[in-house]
Structure 1
Amino acid sequence: MNISGLIITYNEEKNIQDVLKCFDFCDEIIIVDSYSTDNTLKIAQMHPKVKIIQNRFEDFTQQRNLALDNAQNDWVLFLDGDERITPQLRKEIIDELGKADKKDAYYFYRKFFFAGKPIRFSGTQSDKNFRLFRKSKARYVAEKKVHETLHVNGTIGVLKNKLLHFSVSDYKTYKEKMIHYGTLKGKELAAKGKNFNLLTQYIKTGFRFFQAYILRLGILDGKEGYQLCYLQSLSVFETYESLKRERDNK
């Protein structure tokens, strides 16, 4: 099957073995690595289909587009290190690509896990991303530094089976991740000429928690739901802290 498996990495030694298995039906695997300091690359190099490209990290969009540029095939399957394909989803992907009337890009819905516990609500119930697409018909939008946006110039489909998303291994790691995302988002806003406003920071932070915990039923996910919703709102708070730093440094 003419399809390239793509992944961007940084210190993914705990995930890389399992995520590479998800690419078993791909005829090449491209890894764009941000100079990992753990055993990520040592493990990856044991896989015969892997090609490794190291590139200094500036933002997620740049890394993803670099992976696209190095893929030999038009069809690509792009996964994150914490995502896993089920046997049912694997079969659906293969079946879909075998159709004469296939789309140019496909959304995958994701099933979210917090420290091994499945999360049903907290805003995750509508979580979906493009993971399978033709690179000739799609490109990540350069202005988006985090929560990358794929612009598709073609037809779009949605796969039925969900991708497993083990995004939160523990509270501390996810907190660091959310702060990092917030920092990048703040830089993105600064690049767009946005100004810092303290009232906006607190209103948007509070609303994000209310939206996820109450409106999106995070309260039904128990302790994990509260922690998840809190960290989502923390990311919003850090976005404006980052924006403030960027504007102050100009």
Structure 2
Amino acid sequence: MSNPKEKISALIITYNEIGYIEKCIESVSFADEIIVVDSYSTDGTYEYLQIHPKVKVIQHPFSNFTLQKSFALKQATYDWVLFLDADEVVSHKLREEILATVNSKTDCVAYWFYRKFMFQNEPLHFSGWQTDKNYRLFRKSKAQFSDKKIVHETLVVDGKSGILKEKLTHFCYKSFEDYKKKMLKYGRLKAKEDFYRERRFNFASLVFKPFWKFFNHYILRLGILDGKKGVTICYLNALSDLERYRELKKLEKKNELAYYLVMP
């Protein structure tokens, strides 16, 4: 008698991803359920998901990435979870590797995926992205998102991890303005994370950290070999660090003002 097939819950969080979410959904159509948590999109994403026959969509307000993904994880029916961003696409080869992996007698409870970063529709080979990897496939019963981070959320895994060979395709860069908006948002969330962890603002970080990020990604991580694409990505990633420390300074000033206002 053959072993029963393992079932998979595909989870995705979204906000204004029309034009990209369609590819993502299509690529995970092999999953036994697809659950999307939407943070009140205004571009037609929610309406598209509502009428999709294979999707269960839930609207939930966005506080930060960790809380949103933790909420989505609770909605999964099955133990094996494939958790993607809305701009990620599973190739046919990766799909076959995922299915073979979950139906094997594996002792791993979570798997890292390397990602291929797409600059619009062209691959970016360097600029710090060549070693980018994330947990994307794991057992719900053996993992949870750490409450210590609110951006670039961290999965805490209770057990052995593996790495899949095939890469996940990441359509992160849609346009200059879209990526800039995303990097500024990440920077502000990192500032909140720093503030809650009582990390203090200093001018050295404001000046040095963005410069180091650009130099590290463009020179040391070979962004220069990506041509104009490399300059753009490395600049915007450095801009995220600049925004992080500018926002941290603002948060500290607001906190000081609030303190003086409540003093007797």
- Residue of structure 1 aligned with 2:241, choices 219, 222, 236: 236
Aligned residues of 2:24 and 2:87 also touching (Cα < 8 A):
yes
CA shift, 1:102, in A, is 4.3
CA shift, 1:127, in A, is 0.2
Matches of 1:32 and 1:101, distance apart in 2: 29
Within a 5 Å distance, the mapping from 1:51-90 to structure 2 comes to: 51-90=56-95
TM-score, normalising length: structure 1:
0.98
Matches of 2:222 and 2:29, distance apart in 1: 37
Give, as a single letter, the amino acid of the residue that structure 1 aligns with 2:224: I
Aligned residues of 1:186 and 1:243 also touching (Cα < 8 A):
yes
- Residue of structure 2 aligned with 1:139, choices 127, 141, 144: 144
CA shift, 1:115, in A, is 2.0
Once superposed, which parts of structure 1, at least 4 consecutive aligned residues long, lie more than 6 Å away?
none
Give, as a single letter, the amino acid of the residue that structure 1 aligns with 2:151: V
Matches of 2:118 and 2:43, distance apart in 1: 24
Give, as a single letter, the amino acid of the residue that structure 2 aligns with 1:22: S
Aligned residues of 1:16 and 1:43 also touching (Cα < 8 A):
no
**Rg: which structure is higher?**
2
Matches of 2:66 and 2:241, distance apart in 1: 20
The RMSD of aligned alpha carbons is 1.0
CA shift, 1:46, in A, is 2.2
Within a 5 Å distance, the mapping from 1:1-250 to structure 2 comes to: 1-250=6-255
When structure 1 is superposed on structure 2, of 50-59 and 179-188 the one drifting more is 50-59
CA shift, 1:47, in A, is 2.1
Q: How many residues align?
A: 250
When structure 1 is superposed on structure 2, of 175-184 and 108-117 the one drifting more is 108-117
CA shift, 1:74, in A, is 0.7
Query: Gaps (5+ residues) in structure 1?
Result: none
Matches of 1:102 and 1:161, distance apart in 2: 19
Matches of 1:240 and 1:34, distance apart in 2: 27
1:175-207 Cα offsets, whole Å, 9 max, x none, are 111000000000000000111101121111111
Query: Gaps (5+ residues) in structure 2?
Result: 1-5, 256-264
CA shift, 1:99, in A, is 0.6
